[in-house]
Amino acid sequence: MPAAKQDAVIKSWLDSARSDFELACVKKTRKIRYEHLCFHAQQAAEKSIKALFFSLNIEVPRTHDLAYVIDHLPTPFVVPPHLLLLPVLTKYAVQFRYPGQEMSVTRKEYIKAVDLAEATLHWVNDVIK
**Is the confidence at residue 28, as pLDDT, over 90?**
yes
For domain 3-128, give its CATH number from 1.10.150.120, 1.10.1200.10, 1.10.10.60, 1.20.120.330.
1.20.120.330
What is d(CA 53, CA 125) in angstroms, rounded to the nearest whole number?
12
Residue type, 25: C
| Average pLDDT over every residue of 33-61 | 94
Share of the chain above pLDDT 70, in %: 97
**pLDDT (tens digit, 9 = 90+) per residue, 51-69?**
999 999 988 989 999 999 9
Q: Give, as one character, the DSSP assignment of residue 51.
A: H
- Whether pLDDT at 14 is above 90: yes
For residue 65, the one-letter residue type is D
d(CA 4, CA 34): 38
Cβ neighbours of residue 92 under 8 Å, at least 6 residues apart?
35, 38, 39, 41, 42, 105, 113
Please give the pLDDT value at position 94.
Answer: 82
pLDDT of residue 103: 77
pLDDT of 85 higher than 90: yes
Q: For the residues 31-57, what does the mean pLDDT come to?
A: 95
Phi-psi region of 99 (alpha: psi -120 to 50; beta: other; left: phi over 0): beta
Domain range list for the chain: 3-128
Picking from 77, 78, 90, the residue whose alpha carbon sits closest to that of residue 116 is 90
What's residue 2's pLDDT? 80
Mean pLDDT to the nearest integer, 94-122 = 89
> Between 34-55 and 107-128, two packed helices, what is the crossing angle to 10 degrees?
20
Kind and range of the H or E run holding 117: helix 107-128
